[in-house]
Structure 1
């Protein structure tokens, strides 16, 4: 252990310089355990605020800055933080926050279409990054983000906090035990019963205090509409991928982990706006996607307005084997036997707080300078975001698709048009060399 932050920074700078990295990117790296990790939060309305609140439970974390394009959100958060005697600096653009040399790590809790640019900028500025899921809004973005992390040597955790929950790990250990027998089908699903239609609303001027042009960033310029702002952005292709990437990255991640696979032979999807055909949203409210592997399939389902999903659960993963089925979700896991082929396993309930464990895991990785202990490193986030994007691309093309892993593209030409998110307003996806 180093005796002081200054000594730690000095030694880190020498190590990074010897690796061919500029010392510019080491001046804000955090010190060892027991020293404060100074956090800046970019986007503090939804999960960005939940993440920051979790970090602030840790004695080694200090919030030194917040950033948002909505002044009302900033004002509300400042009041809440003041009750804890926390008075952070305020920024309205992420680049200004990243220029603050007092910050060691940042939380990125902005809409999906901003994740790529902000994470790459943060890595280039020498910050460690906790970025919300899905990692990127396109396959090309995910590749660029992974390249940036490797170039700048930042520690990057993706907000897939289920990776930190013990009961998820226990369930996957059971799957890997072989007791279920041959698994031929894995189902993953999200039935969002509480989410109904998005009523059509007229365009308006942005609310006072909202920097709408900055919010748009690389997305196509359109008149302001409340339907596309804050939480609702996820139902529009300009900014996100609907439930396929919103919940799919959480649940399909465990389907892949349980089956020890990465790349499907083919992908096919069918669905549409079957529940609310005339509402304002663009992404499908009903979708079925099948990923084909050599001797089993992974199936994804989602609905809005229906909450009674498979096995009477509104979300989950089911590993369906010859001997029995293991059903897993955030509440716990159980095994339902097939006739008398195995013993049942009664519900093993969740007993921990996944988000709190996940943020603590990120802080420990920074303090020990050991990215190998991350529960959801960027490699995990990039892969599952790309996997979920494949399902959306299959839906949008209406084709059965085949992925060429060696070439990092589809065999089908029309599908490759969706590999990269379209950028506007003079923004470009960075090319990392």
Structure 2
């Protein structure tokens, strides 16, 4: 072989090798990362669109039990010259070899089953928060991920925002002095109470039995469907697990905290006693650690929370308080004990950066690169569930991390979500 032919053959070999090695592919020819979306409404659709902004990512499949939304999303993608296959059963999508990555953005009570099915099918997974609807589900999901080669990113995208990282660096610097209390809160002023309505026929195009899945069999009611599912214990945990996993996550990061020794919570349905919702619209939960507390509070129908912010995390130290939310962070000194830090505004798009981070981890086949690994998603989801359990038992409860159980049986009955309709918690 002469010199010219040698280099020509080498180039062909390198290009063909690139098809199987995503790191090499970044230099030569990179195969598209093919994404399937399970749960195409709301946040699932937002996740998909930001993932599609990343180079060499394409959508190949959609899955939903509501054919009305499913066909609308398919049509919207076709207008962008994106043609996809559609399914009403996540297992069929997972068995299709046109999908490398799945986004799971279904109601919380479906997360565990679909996640375990996905990693067993060898797919990489972007899983919406909270990862599970019970403490036991979270533990099963972590175990399933550990036994797979799947790259998993949890949808706590604030971890990819630079200003949150900067704020945590400041908290860890010690400049605030001894921090005795971290507060996290969410005040959702735009959400009115749910007015009770009668049960209704299942809408045309909706496979309601599949929507219920492992949840208790009930007549269809519009209050429990689509966005509103989160206010009912069968499917989710209300604001405690919806916003709590975002904000308590940073309270835990800032305090370098694991699991609390005890939890007490108080609240109720105070905004409108006639609401159809089951989860509390007003709640305060206190988590006790060795030498500090973390407090959570939320309120539906009220816009102004602590520090005149509708959401945030505050680290209250002897020298001053750092307050951070999605808009930015600042430090408020306690008298003259330290210098103030003026408001540091957020300058990036957290969800976009989260998706870029996810793809980078996939291309490099490195689980350690993801901003929110499954273990982190499990940690804060469990802590959030603890707040709900304390509220539902109406007593101060104590956690034993060695046994991963509470010290009273009234609380332990909430460790695992009940499965119905022939479903059972996945075995891994």
TM class by shorter-chain length?
over 0.9
1:170 counterpart = 2:166? yes
**Number of residues of Structure 1 aligned to a counterpart in Structure 2:** 413
1:264 counterpart = 2:276? no
Equivalence for 1:181 = 177
Equivalence for 2:48 = 52
SS at match of 2:337: coil
Equivalence for 1:322 = 318
Equivalence for 2:127 = 131
Aligned match of 2:20 in 3, 8, 22?
A: 8
Aligned match of 1:277 in 273, 276, 282?
A: 273
> Any unmatched runs of 5+ in structure 1?
10-28
Equivalence for 1:245 = 241
SS at match of 1:8: coil
Aligned match of 2:332 in 315, 336, 346?
A: 336
Q: In the superposition, relative to structure 1, how do residues 143 and 330 fare at CA in structure 2: closer, same or farther (>3 Å)?
A: same
SS at match of 2:239: helix
Deviation of the 1:133 alpha carbon: 0.2
Deviation of the 1:8 alpha carbon: 2.6
1:212 counterpart = 2:208? yes
SS at match of 1:47: helix
Normalising by structure 1, we get a TM-score of 0.93
User: C-alpha separation between the residues in 2 aligned to 1:65 and 1:41?
Assistant: 6
Contact 2:19 2:31 in 1 (8 A): no
Deviation of the 1:431 alpha carbon: 2.1
SS at match of 2:241: helix
SS at match of 1:220: coil
Q: In the superposition, relative to structure 1, how do residues 68 and 379 fare at CA in structure 2: closer, same or farther (>3 Å)?
A: same
Equivalence for 2:409 = 413
SS at match of 2:355: helix
Equivalence for 1:15 = none
Normalising by structure 2, we get a TM-score of 0.94
Deviation of the 1:7 alpha carbon: 6.3
CA offsets 1:369-425 (integer angstroms, 9 cap, x no match): 011110001010011100100000000001111111010111111100000000000
User: C-alpha separation between the residues in 2 aligned to 1:61 and 1:293?
Assistant: 43
Q: In the superposition, relative to structure 1, how do residues 205 and 309 fare at CA in structure 2: closer, same or farther (>3 Å)?
A: same
SS at match of 1:147: helix
Deviation of the 1:71 alpha carbon: 1.0
User: C-alpha separation between the residues in 2 aligned to 1:165 and 1:2?
Assistant: 37
Deviation of the 1:75 alpha carbon: 1.8
SS at match of 1:197: coil
1:363 counterpart = 2:375? no
Matches within 5 A, 1:289-300: 289-300=285-296
Equivalence for 1:353 = 349
CA offsets 1:209-255 (integer angstroms, 9 cap, x no match): 00110000000010001100000000000000000000000000000
User: C-alpha separation between the residues in 1 aligned to 2:209 and 2:23?
Assistant: 33
1:143 counterpart = 2:155? no
Contact 1:30 1:366 in 2 (8 A): no
Contact 1:30 1:37 in 2 (8 A): no
Contact 1:39 1:62 in 2 (8 A): yes
Contact 1:2 1:8 in 2 (8 A): no
Q: In the superposition, relative to structure 1, how do residues 4 and 427 fare at CA in structure 2: closer, same or farther (>3 Å)?
A: farther
User: C-alpha separation between the residues in 2 aligned to 1:102 and 1:264?
Assistant: 44
Q: In the superposition, relative to structure 1, how do residues 308 and 7 fare at CA in structure 2: closer, same or farther (>3 Å)?
A: closer
Contact 1:269 1:398 in 2 (8 A): yes
Q: In the superposition, relative to structure 1, how do residues 30 and 137 fare at CA in structure 2: closer, same or farther (>3 Å)?
A: farther
Deviation of the 1:101 alpha carbon: 1.0
1:301 counterpart = 2:297? yes
Q: After the TM superposition, list the runs of 4 or more consecutive aligned residues in structure 1 that deviate by more than 3 angstroms.
A: 1-7, 29-34
SS at match of 2:235: coil
User: C-alpha separation between the residues in 2 aligned to 1:159 and 1:73?
Assistant: 22
Deviation of the 1:341 alpha carbon: 0.6
SS at match of 1:168: helix
CA RMSD of aligned residues (A): 1.5
User: C-alpha separation between the residues in 2 aligned to 1:420 and 1:257?
Assistant: 26
> Any unmatched runs of 5+ in structure 2?
1-12
SS at match of 2:342: strand
Deviation of the 1:150 alpha carbon: 1.0
Q: In the superposition, relative to structure 1, how do residues 256 and 287 fare at CA in structure 2: closer, same or farther (>3 Å)?
A: same
1:153 counterpart = 2:152? no
